[in-house]
Amino acid sequence: MTAMRNVRGVAPMRGVRRWALGAVLAAAVAGLGGCYVVPIDHRAPPAPVALPAPAPGPVLLSARLYPANDMAARHGVVNAHVTNDLQGRGTFAAVIGAESFAGEATRQSQSSREGVANGAGNRGGYLSCQYTMNSSTQGIGRCRLHDGAAFTMHLGQ
pLDDT digits (tens, 9 = 90+) for 65-88: 999 999 999 999 999 998 888 788
Residue type, 86: L
What domain range is 73 assigned to?
A: 59-156
Number of domains into which the chain is organized = 1
Instruction: Report the C-alpha gap between 136 and 84 in whole angstroms.
Output: 9
pLDDT score of 143? 97
Residues above pLDDT 90, as percent of the chain: 43
- Does any domain span residue 145? yes
* Contacts made by residues 119-123, CB under 8 angstroms, sequence distance 24+: 119/92, 119/93, 119/94, 121/96, 121/146, 123/98, 123/99
Taking only the tens place, the pLDDT of each residue in 12-71 is 555 556 656 666 556 555 555 555 556 666 676 677 777 777 767 788 889 999 999 999
- Does any domain span residue 77? yes
Instruction: Report the C-alpha gap between 89 and 106 in whole angstroms.
Output: 4
The CATH number linked to 105 is: 2.40.128.120
